[in-house]
Amino acid sequence: MLREELLDTLESMLKSHSSDFRDTISYVLDNKLDLFKEFDGPFYEGEDNMLDLILPAITRLYGKYFITPPTILKSDRLDLYQLSFDIDHFIDYFVDIIPKVKNSLSCMEYLDRGAETLSLVVDNYIAGQFKYAYDCKDIIEEIREVKLKKLIK
pLDDT of 40:
84
Q: How far apart are CA 118 and CA 39, in angstroms?
A: 12
pLDDT of 89:
96
Q: pLDDT by residue for the chain (153 residues), tens digit each?
A: 566 776 666 666 666 657 788 889 889 989 998 898 888 888 888 787 888 888 889 999 999 999 889 999 999 999 999 999 999 999 999 999 999 998 889 899 888 888 899 999 999 999 999 999 999 999 999 999 999 998 887
pLDDT of 45:
81
Report domain extents, the chain. Answer: 2-152
pLDDT of 2:
63
pLDDT of 6:
66
DSSP calls for 48-115: -BTHHHHHHHHHHHHIIIIIS--TT--HHHHHHHHHT--HHHHHHHHHHHHHHHTTTTTT-TTS-HHH
pLDDT of 3:
66
